[in-house]
Amino acid sequence: MSRVQLALNVDDLDRAVAFYSTLFDTEPAKREPGYANFAVEQPPLKLVLLENTGAGGTINHLGVEVETSEQVHDEIARLSQAGLFTSEQIGTTCCFARQDKVWVTGPHGEKWEVYTVLADTETFGDAPEFADDNTAAQACCGTDADAATDGVCCTADARRDAVAGGATCRD
């Protein structure tokens, strides 16, 4: 089953978890320091909460969670063929999970990912910082060390420069 993902920045993770647990009548599927996610059955929604003090109440990014890597690769092909600038991340660690994903940027700067979770991880990885125009945006989820060794994506400085120019990073 595919479902839409909404990643929100929150100032106080505990308060946000309490609120969304009540709103959707469910507990988080995953809870780690500074991070929580809910797998809401009805309506089908993956709600991600990222503790980002000072940016609470803003959208971090949007996404579509799919079941398989094949679906991610199909979306990479479809989006590329449609002429959208994509940033592919295969086997990246983000949000306490190993993932395959592709990023695109909407016409007003909104960041979308199509992704699948391959496995849970012990580490957070590096989340995209899409809080607002005053935040240095990062289109890649891999760490600088990942970029240096795996070619996952460009370095943090290159990401900031690319995003400031209206682009996103590629592998």
Res 57 pLDDT > 50: yes
Least confident stretch, 22-26, 40-44, 94-98: 94-98
The CATH number of the domain holding residue 25 is 3.10.180.10
Is the residue at 23 inside a domain? yes
List the domain range (segments joined by +) for residue 43. Answer: 3-61
With CA atoms as reference, report the closest residue to 154 among 168, 133, 165: 168
In this model, does residue 165 exceed pLDDT 90? no
Residues 57 and 74 in one domain: no
| Final residue in a domain of this structure, among 45, 61, 77 | 61
The verdict on residue 171 lying in a domain is: no
What is the number of domains present in the chain?
2
From the list 130, 97, 129, the residue with the least C-alpha distance to 116 is 97
> For 148-153, what is the mean pLDDT?
39
Q: Is residue 123 assigned to a domain?
A: yes
Q: 91: which residues sit within 8 A by CB, 6+ positions away?
A: 98, 99, 100, 118, 150, 152
Domain shared by 69 and 55, yes or no? no
Q: Closest by alpha carbon to 110, among 139, 73, 153?
A: 139
**136 vs 168, which has greater pLDDT?**
168
Tell me the per-residue pLDDT of 1-15, one tens digit each, with 9 for 90 and over.
Answer: 689 999 999 999 999
pLDDT higher than threshold 70 for residue 157: no
> Could you read off the pLDDT of 81-117 as tens digits, one per residue?
988 878 888 888 887 788 899 999 888 788 899 988 8
Q: Is-above-0.75 flag for pTM? A: no
